[in-house]
Amino acid sequence: MSASLDIRLKRANKVYHEGEVLAGVVAIVSKEAVQHQGITLTMEGIVNLQLSSKSVGVFEAFYNSVKPIQLITSNIEVVKQGKVPGGKTEIPFEFPLHTKGNKVLYETYHGVFVNIQYTLRCDMKRSLLAKDLSKTCEFMVHCLPQKAKLQPTPVDFTITPETLQNVRERSLLPKFLIRGHLDATNCVITKPLTGELVVESSDVAIKSIELQLVRVETCGCAEGYARDATEIQNIQIAEGDVCHSLPIPIYMVFPRLFTCPTLETINFKVEFEVNVVIVLHDEHLITENFPLKLCRA
Amino acid sequence: MAAVQWHSRARRYESELQSCGLEVAPVEFSDYHPLKSITVTDSKSRRGARKGSTSSSSSSSSSVAPDPLSSMLDGTDPLSMFAAASASESPPTLSQSRKRREKEDEVGVDFEPWSSKRGEILARFTTTEKLSINLFMGSEKGKAPSLASSAVSEKVRTRLEELDDLEEGSQRELLNLSQQDYVNRIEELNQSLKEAWASDQKVKALKIVIQCSKLLSDTAVIQFYPSKFVLITDILDTFGRLVYERIWSMCSDPRPLPDSFTADEVNDTAKETCLNWFFKIASIRELIPRLYVEVALLKCNRFLTKCGIQETVPRLTAMIRGIGDPLVAVYARAYLCRIGMEVAPHLKDSLNKNFFDLLGTFRQIHGDSVQNQLVLQRVEIPVYLTLYSPAIHWILQCVSYRAPEDYINCAEIWVEFTCRHFTKREVNTVLSDIIKHMTPDRAFEDAYPQLQSVIRKILTYFHDFSVLFSMERFLPFMDMFQKDSVRVGVCLSIMDVFIKHQQEPTRDPVILNALLHVCKTMHDSVNALTLEDEKRSLALLINGFIRMVSFGRDFEQQLSFCVEARATFCNLEPVLVQLIHTVNQLAMETRRVMRGSHSRKTAAFVRACAAYSFITIPSLTSIFSRLNLYLLSGQVALANQCLSQADAFLKAAVSVLPEVPRSISIEGKLRSSEGFLLDFINNFLSALLVVPDHPEAGVLFLVRGLLNMVQDYTWEDNSDAKVHVYISALPLLAAMSQESYLYSIPKVDSNETLYGGDPKFLAEINKLCETLIGQVLDHLKTLGRDESIHRQGSLAFSLFGCLLAHGDLRNNKLNQLAVNLWNLSHKQGYCNTRTSVRTLEFIKHQAQQPDMVHLSDVLHRLTLQSRT
C-alpha cells in the first residue's frame, strides 16, 4: 500500500470565517498510478456535548439534548472515478463555508463537556480489492468580529479578611490588604487579560499569586441543566514573598482552542471566569472571582 | 670715457613742486576712492561671477574697515563648505539611515560580552555543599493542555502522551550531587535538549528547558546560585537559538532572509509556528520558567511584528516584580538585560526600568523571608550580598552602555536652549554637567562632533569674549578635545568668531590668557606635514588676534606681550612678521605720543623695540621679508633718532643682499627675483638720502657698500639690472649734493648738515657719479657689439633722462654726453617716438625757466629721427 492521501489548506493558521472559502489541495503521493472510484471531500461542523459523571443522573430525562448538534455538513466530489498517475498529484479544491437556514457557525472550542469542532475529510473510494483511503483535518472557525465597539470596563478590587466569603473562622485569618484592578472584564479574546495587583500589606508571607482561568460549561435547557466549572490554565504571576506596595502586572494570554467568545445557545453555554488566587505561606488560599465576557473584535 | 665729469644740477625742490603739482581737488566722501571700503549694492548679480571665490566680504559696508586680508576668514573655503554641508544638511539617504539603524540594533565591540563574564562567575561562586536537582518531567501534564494546541497537534499530542508515559511520575530527585556532578548533570540536560531538538521532539525540548528554568527558583545552597544561573542560562541560550534558527530556516525559500529582515518578509507558516511557540510559553504555569523561556525566545518576536520586541521587553521587566526572592529577581533582570542588549540595545528605557525596579525592591533583602533563609543556610549578610554583584554589575554595564552618547545628544540640544534664553551662569552649569558626564572612561572621545557642536552653539550666542572666558568651565570643557585635529578645529572656530566680532582692541587678561592658549594650540599643531594653506590660515587668525591686543599707553606691557608671542608662535613666519610690524608700530606710536622728543625712558624703550626687531628678523626664511623689514625697521629706528640701530639695520640689509637667490618661489611657482630686488634697491636708495654717514666709517659708506654688493652680485646672464641700479643711484647722489635736501627726519641731522655742502664731500659724490656713468657707458658699448641694440637704445635713453633731470647740462661734457646718448638711443629707431616727442616738449618747457636757458641750446642739437 504505497499511496498516501493528505489535505493541505492554503492558510497556515487554518482559521476561516463564515462566508469564506476553504481553499487547498488534496495531495496524493504514490509510486504507481492509483485506480479509484472517486475522491470526495466532506466538511462537517459538530457540537459535542458530554455529561459529567456527577450530573448524569439529572440528565437522563433530557438525554436527547446531548446528541451532537450538527452545524454544517457538505460534500463534494473532487475527482470522478478514474486513475491518478504515479508520483505526486495535487488536486486543488475550494469549499465555500456557508450554513443552511438560520444555523450559526459557533467558534471552534475544545472544552471538557462542550466541544465545537470543524473537520474536513477526504475519502478515496477504491475497488473491492484495495482499502479505501481517508484523511481528516481539523480547521478552525472564528466568529466574525462584533460590530459594537467594546468599551473596556475596568474593575477595581480590594481583598482583606473582611471582604472574604466562605470563611470558617475569620479570626484565625492573618491580616492582609491586597488591592488591584483588571483593565477590563469584557475581553477581546486575542488580547491578553491585563491589570495590576499590589500587596499593600500582609502579616504572613505570600507564597504565590496565580491567575486561574476557568471555563463554565452548561448543558441543558430551561427545564434543567448541568453546570460545570473546570480549570483551563493556571498562570502564576507572583512567586514568593513579593515586595509590598509594588504593583505586579496581571497578564494572561487566552489560549487558542480552549477559549472562545462567550457563547450562549438554547442547548448549551460556554462562559469564562478568572480567579485571582493568593496562596499564603501558611497555605491559606484566598480567591477572588471575576466573570469574564470574551468576544472577538 | 672716464673723462666724464659729473655736476649735479642745483634743485629748488619747493618751487619745482609748486610748478608741477597737480591741482588739489577735494574728494567727496561718496566718490570712488581705492582705499575706501568696498560697498557692493548689487550683490546678487555679482554672486554668479564670484562663484568659487573664497571671499564673501564684498558685501561688507561697515565703516570699520577690518584688515582686508582677514576678510578671507569671513567665509569658509568652498571645499570645507561642501564638506560641512554634506555632513550636516543633506538629508540622510536610505542607506545612511539604515546604517544608523543597524548600528543601533547591534551592540558594538565596546560592550564587554557575556562570554567573558561567564567564566569569571563560575570560578568565583563555588560550593562544597551537596546540591540536588529536582526534575518533574511529567508535571506539566494536564496543567498545560494548551501545549497540545492547534490542529497540527495530533502528532504532537501522541508524542506528548508517550513522553508522559515514559516519565510518568518520574520525578527524579538527584540528591547529594557535588558541584562537578551538578555541572555535569546540567550539561547532560543541555545535550539531551539538543538531541531532542535534532530528533524533532520539540515538546520534549521545551520541557527540558522549562524544568531547567525552574531550578532557578530554588535558592538552596545560595552561594552557588550565580553559577547555577550561568549554567542554566546557557541552556536557555541554546534553546533560544534553536527556535530562532528553526523559524528562520522556514523562511529560506526562495532565498534566505536578510539579517535585517522585517516581519513582512516572513511567510505565514513561519509566523504560525512562531505564534505557536509563544502560545505554548504563555501557558507555562510557573512564573520563573515562563519568564526565562519567553526571554530566551525574545528575538523570535521579530518574525511576528515590527514592534514586538519593543512591547515585550517592558512587559517582561514588569513581570519580574512578581518574583519575591530578591536574588532570583536580580538574576532574572540580568538575563533580561543581557538578551535585551543582544536583541534590541536601543531599548534603553527598559534597561533603566530594570535598574530602578532593582533599587525599588532592594529593601527585600532585609525582609524576613531572606533573613530566615540566610539563618537556615548559615550564610552571613556580607557573603550574601556578594552574590548580587555579578548581576548588578551586568545590569549597570547594560544601562551605562552608550549612555554618554544619549546624554550628549540631549545636552547638545539643551545648550542651545540655555544659550538663547539664559545667562552665562546657566550655560556654565550645563558645561560643567557635560564635563561631569563625559569625563569618566574618556567618554568624550566618542562625542567629538557633539562637543564641537556645543562650542559652535555657544559661540553663536556669546560674542563677548570677556563673558565667554569668564565661564569657569569653558576652558576645562576645551580640555576634553584631546584629539589634535579636533582641538585645532575648535580653536580655529573660536578665533574665527573672535576676529569677526571683537570690535575693540582688548587688554583683558582673561581673554588674552585664554586666546593665547587657544592660539598656541593652533600653532603647536603645525608640523612638517602641515600644508602651506593651513599654515597661512592659522597665521591669519593668530595675526588677527595679535592686532586686537592693545595695552593702551602701557607700551612696555605691549612689548613684553610681543616677546611672549614671539616665543609662542615661532614656527609661523607670517606671525613673526606681524609681530615685527606691531613692534615697529609701537615705536612710532611712542614717538607720536612724545611728539618726536624722546625722554630718556622712551628713548630706551624705542631702542628696545629696535632690538626686538633686529633679533627677530634673522629668523625669517623669506629673504625679501628680511630685506624689507630691515629697511622698514631701519627707517623706524631713524625716525626715533636711534642712529646706530638704524645703521645696523641698513648694514644688515646690505649684507643680506648677496644671499638673494636668482629665482624665488611665489605661490608655488619659481620666478625670477630680479624685479623684486630692483624694487627693493630703489626703495633702499631713497631711504639712504636721510641716513647720516657714520662718523667712523667713510663718506657715503652705505651707498658705496650697496653699490659694491650690486657689483658683486651674480645677476642673471644678459641682464641690464646692474646698470639699472647704477642709473638709479645717480638721482640719489644728485639729491645728496643739494644744499638742502628733499626730505629729512626731524631731529636727525642728515649729511646736508653734517657736511654743510663741503666741496670735498661734493667732489666725492661727483667722483662716484662719474664712476657709475663710466660703468654704464662701458655696458652700453658691450651691448653695441651684440644683437642687443634695442636694449642699448633704451638704456641710453634712461641715462639721458637721468642726466637731463639731475645733471647740470651747462657743463659741456655732460651736455655733449647727453646729446650723444640721445643720438645713440635714436640711432636704431627702436625708441618710442611718443616718449621722445614728450621729452622734447619737456625740455622746451624747462628751457623757459630763468636759469635753464642753456637747455634750448641742447634742444637744437637733439634731432627727432622720424621713421616716416
- A142-198 per-position pLDDT tens digit: 988 877 777 888 999 999 988 888 877 777 788 999 999 999 999 999 999 999 999
Chain B residues in contact with A14 (beta carbon < 8 A): 151
In the block, which residue shows the cell 634743485?
B11
Which residues, 6 or more positions from B560, have their beta carbon under 8 angstroms from its beta carbon?
A: none
Per-residue pLDDT, averaged over A22-32, amounts to: 90
Given the candidates 3.60.10.10, 1.10.10.920, 3.40.50.1380, 2.60.40.640, the CATH classification of the domain at A3-142 is 2.60.40.640
* Residues B274, B251 contacting (CB under 8 angstroms): no
Residue-wise pLDDT for A99-128, tens only, equals: 877 788 899 999 988 999 999 999 988 887
Cβ of B146 within 8 Å of Cβ of A256? The answer is yes
d(CA A18, CA B245): 36
The pLDDT of residue B105 is: 57
Distance from CA of A59 to the nearest CA of B (A): 27
Confidence at residue B312, expressed as pLDDT on a 0 to 100 scale: 92
Q: Which of B662, B656, B666, B591 is nearest to B628 (CA)?
A: B656
Residues of chain A with CATH 2.60.40.640: 3-142, 155-295
pLDDT at A34 over 90: no
Q: What is the number of CB-based contacts under 8 A between chain A and chain B?
A: 109
Give yes or no for A59 touching B (CB within 8 A): no
Collapsing DSSP states into helix, strand and coil, what is residue B719?
coil
Query: Residue B269, exposed/middle/buried by CB under 10 A (0-12, 13-18, 19+)?
Result: middle
Among residues B488, B493, B558, which one has the least CA distance to residue B530? B488
> What does the H/E/C string look like for B609-622?
HHHHHHHHHHHCCC
Give me the half-sphere count of Cα atoms (radius 13 Å) on the Cβ side of residue B324. 24
Say what the pLDDT of residue B186 is. 87
**Amino acid of residue B570:** C
| Closest Cα in chain A to B286 | A236
Q: Does A268 lie at the interface with B, CB-CB under 8 angstroms? A: no
pLDDT of A54 over the 70 cut: no
**Minimal CA separation from A10 to chain B, in Å:** 10
A230 vs B: CB within 8 A: no
**Contact between residue A211 and residue A193 where contact means Cβ atoms under 8 Å apart:** yes
* Residue B19 · residue B842 · CB < 8 Å: no
Cα distance from A255 to chain B (closest Cα, Å)? 7
* Nearest CA among B395, B287, B307 for reference residue B350: B395
Chain B contacts in chain A segment 200-219 (CB below 8 A): 205-206, 209
Query: Which chain A residue lies closest to B323 (C-alpha atoms)?
Result: A239
Report residue A293 as a C-alpha cell: 465576557
Choosing among A9, A135, A248, which should be mutated to test the B contact, i.e. which has the most B CBs within 10 A?
A248
Question: Rounded to whole angstroms, how far apart are CA atoms B773 and B427?
Answer: 76
Strands A114-124 and B171-177: unpaired
**Closest approach of A224 to chain B, Cα-based (Å):** 30
Tell me which residue of A184, A98, A107, A181 sits closest to A143, measured CA to CA. A107
CB B594 within 8 A of CB B602: yes
Domain A155-295: CATH architecture, name and number where available: Sandwich (2.60)
pLDDT at B537: 92
User: Which residue stretches of chain B have pLDDT < 50?
Assistant: 1-2, 40-78, 80-102, 138-169, 867-868
Q: Which residues of A touch B360 (CB under 8 A)?
A: 243, 246
The per-residue pLDDT for A165 is 85
Cβ-based neighbour number of residue B82 at 10 Å: 11
Closest residue in B to A12 (Cα) is B269
> Could you tell me the pLDDT band of residue A67, with boundaries at 50, 70 and 90?
confident
Question: In B, which residues are within 8 Å of A243 by CB distance?
Answer: 321, 324, 360-361, 363-364
**ipTM (interface predicted TM):** 0.93
pLDDT of residue B72: 46
CB contact under 8 A, A237 and B145: no
Q: Pull the grid cell for residue A241.
A: 514573598
The 3-state secondary structure of A235-271 reads EEEEECCCCCCCCEEEEECCCCCCCCCCEECCCEEEE
How buried is B188 (Cβ within 10 angstroms: 0-12 exposed, 13-18 middle, 19+ buried)? exposed
Mean pLDDT of chain A: 87
Give the pLDDT confidence score for residue B307 in this predicted structure.
Answer: 86
Q: What is the distance in angstroms between the Cα of A62 and the nearest Cα belonging to chain B?
A: 30
What is the Rg, in whole angstroms, of the alpha carbon atoms belonging to chain B?
46
What single-letter DSSP state applies at residue B254? Answer: S
Interface test with A, best of B152, B305, B321 (most A CBs within 10 A): B321
At B145 the pLDDT is 38
Question: What is the three-class DSSP state of B671?
Answer: strand
Distance CA B329, CA B322 (A): 8
DSSP string, B188-210: HHHHHHHHHHHTT-HHHHHHHHH
Of B145, B271, B287, which has the smallest distance from its Cβ to A258's Cβ? B145
- A63 has a chain B CB within 8 A of its CB: no
| AA identity, residue B110 | D
Task: Answer yes or no: do B369 and A257 touch at CB < 8 A.
Answer: no
Whats the size of chain B, residue-wise? 868
Q: Is A255 at the interface with chain B, CB within 8 A?
A: yes
- Nearest Cα of chain A lies from the Cα of B323 at a distance, in angstroms, of 5
* Maximum distance among all Cα pairs of chain A, rounded to whole angstroms: 81
Query: Of the ranges A43-52, A254-263, B590-599, which one carries the lowest mean pLDDT score?
Result: A43-52
Interface of A with B in 12-51 (CB under 8 A): 12-14
Please give the C-alpha separations between residue A212 and each of A115, A253, B616, in angstroms, as whole numbers: 21, 12, 94
Q: What letter does residue B32 receive in the DSSP assignment?
A: -
Distance (Å) from the C-alpha of residue B501 to the closest C-alpha of chain A? 58
**Hey, what amino acid is at A103?**
K
Closest chain B CA to residue A259: B146
Q: Is A232 on the interface with B (CB under 8 A)?
A: yes
Q: Is the pTM of this model over 0.90?
A: no
In Å, how far is A239's CA from the nearest CA of chain B? 5
| Dist CA B570 CA B564 (whole Å) | 10
Question: Is cis: bond before B113, omega within 30 of 0?
Answer: no
- Strands A285-295 and A186-188 come out as parallel
Which residue on chain B is closest to A253 by alpha carbon?
B282
Q: Which amino acid is residue B325, in one-letter code? A: D
* Contact between A239 and B146 using a beta-carbon 8 Å cutoff: no
Confirm if A157 and A215 have CB atoms less than 8 A apart: no
β-partners of residue B323 are A239
Read off the DSSP letter of residue A51: -
- C-alpha B681, offset from chain centre: 40
Residues in CB range of B760: below 8 A, 6 or more apart:
none
Spatial contact of B397 and B353, defined as CB atoms under 8 Å apart: no
Q: Which of B144, B150, B364 sits opposite A233 (nearest CB)?
A: B144
CA distance B285 to chain A (A): 5
Q: Is there a contact between B282 and A253 if contact means CB atoms under 8 Å apart?
A: yes
The identity of residue B799, as a single letter, is L
Nearest C-alpha of chain A: how many angstroms from B212? 17
Cell 469584557: give the residue.
A186
Q: What's the CA gap between B460 and A87, in Å, rounded?
A: 79
Are the CB atoms for A135 and B147 separated by under 8 Å? no
Selected residue of A243, A253, A258 to mutate for chain B interface (largest B Cβ count, 10 A): A243
Q: Do A241 and B367 touch (CB under 8 A)?
A: yes
Which residue's entry shows cell 552561594?
B223
Residue A252: list chain B partners with CB under 8 A: 282
CB contact under 8 A, A232 and B145: yes
Question: Which one of B143, B276, B286, B287 makes the best mutation probe of the A interface by having the most chain A beta carbons within 10 Å?
Answer: B287
A251 touches chain B (CB under 8 A): yes
Residue of A nearest to B289 (CA): A236
How far apart (Å, rounded) are the C-alpha atoms in residues A289 and A214? 10
Q: With contact defined as beta carbons under 8 Å apart, do A207 and A285 qualify?
A: no
